[in-house]
Amino acid sequence: MTRTTDARDRLVAAAQELYAARGVGATSPRQVLAASGVGQGSLYHHFPTKHDLTLAAVGATVEDALAESLRALSAEAPALDRALAYLGRPRDALAGCKVGRLTGDQAVMDDDGVRTVVGTYFTRLVDAVARVLTEAGVPDAEARDRAHAAVAVVQGGYVLARATGDADAMRAAVRGMAALLQAEAGR
């Protein structure tokens, strides 16, 4: 098999970038085409429909994002510190979460295949946070609720920051959550 998938790779990379910047629904195949520099025919050869392109690009983005998040959660440190490290990770709050934003994208929600990929990201992320909290001594049932809350605070932080145009809103939200988790642990 010769090196003929170059155009495909460039198409996926261009799509990931445009989707992150403008969303899936607001990005046309034509724009991806222009950004990638390949020809019209190549796009439709590798990705017969927009659905196919979206699935490939979103899949790649989800994989990247999950790997990054899991790194913070599996560092060499006490469990509670790892949970706090996840919360406090540096984030481009005004840009929004590359994955979370897809949830508000009609083009994604209307496409079952793509939506499932996005859903998997969050179930796996919540599971990972719950394991860390359990390790930190939180009883199982409560660890799952706290994990949902922690991941939700981050996603909601993005919403607040973008809506108000103020990145501090995200910082305030994670600070509030971190303080509550520490208060509970330190009693």
Partner DNA sequence: GTCTATACAACGATAGAC
Partner DNA sequence: GTCTATCGTTGTATAGAC
| Closer by beta carbon to its own copies, 38 or else 108 | 108
Would you count residue 91 as binding DNA (CB under 7 A)?
Answer: no
Give the span between the Cα atoms of 115 and 13, in whole angstroms.
20
The DSSP symbol for 104 reads G
Would you count residue 177 as binding its own copies (CB under 8 A)?
Answer: yes
Give the span between the Cα atoms of 80 and 51, in whole angstroms.
40
Window 105 to 124, contacts with its own copies (CB under 8 A)? 105-107, 109, 115, 118-119, 121-123
CA distances from 150 to 112, 123, 124, 125, 141 (A): 26, 13, 14, 10, 15
Would you count residue 13 as binding DNA (CB under 7 A)?
Answer: no
Q: Which does 142 bind (CB under 5 to 8 A by kind): DNA, its own copies, none?
A: its own copies
Give the span between the Cα atoms of 11 and 47, in whole angstroms.
9
| Closer by beta carbon to its own copies, 96 or else 132 | 96
Task: Please pick, from the candidates 39, 113, 119, 176, the single residue that binds DNA as defined by CB under 7 A.
Answer: 39
Give the span between the Cα atoms of 15 and 56, in whole angstroms.
9
Would you count residue 84 as binding its own copies (CB under 8 A)?
Answer: no
For the CB of residue 30, give the shortest distance to DNA in the complex, in Å: 4
Binding flags for DNA, 97-136, as an x/- string (CB under 7 A): ----------------------------------------
CA distances from 145 to 87, 133, 149 (A): 15, 10, 6
Give the span between the Cα atoms of 139 and 147, in whole angstroms.
12
Query: Which residues in this chain contact its own copies in the complex, by CB under 8 A?
Result: 22-23, 25-26, 96, 100-107, 109, 115, 118-119, 121-123, 126, 142, 144-160, 162-165, 169, 172-177, 179-181, 183-184, 187
